[in-house]
Amino acid sequence: MADPIIKKGSQGAAVKKAQKALIERFYLPPGTDDGKFGPVTDFAVRNYQKDRSAGQFYAFSFPLVIDGIVGPHTWFRLTPSEVKKGSKGDGVRLLQELLKHFNHPAYDPGPIDGDFGPLTETAVKAFQTDFFDFDGNPLKVDGIVGPKTWTALWS
């Protein structure tokens, strides 16, 4: 089931989920995941969207509109689905673009083609070897891009 569209005035579990993702990306201070989409969350969402809007460094092929609404496109960037070897599609394409932007030979996933093949898996494992999760723990080196690796990639 897709996450609901949330905006200023929304409340509940979906808001809390978005707030946690924003905290992990340093757009909200820790402890502000209260499930209420007020002015502070609105400001954080807009800043997150601005950093990933057209013309910005983190836009890649999936730029966001700065509207303060967490809809399908913002959810896709904020909480991407798990991808692993054999996965195909936009999530893999975003992963490959994020890895490429590091401009580090060990993180080069090969062509940006939306196909999670052996080059992408090797790049993910190299990235996971070098980076930590939000809590400062080393990432699990398994080649699977789940929530902790997505956060470390600054999705």
Cβ contact 127:153 at 8 Å: yes
Residue 147 lies in a domain: yes
Residue 83 per-residue DSSP state: B
For residue 29, the enclosing domain spans 13-78
pTM: predicted TM-score of the whole model, two decimal places: 0.93
- In this structure, is residue 143 part of a structural domain? yes
State whether 18 and 74 are in the same domain. yes
> Is 113:91 a contact under the CB 8 Å cutoff?
no
Give residue-wise pLDDT tens across range 12-54: 999 999 999 999 999 999 999 999 999 999 999 999 999 999 9
Number of domains into which the chain is organized: 2
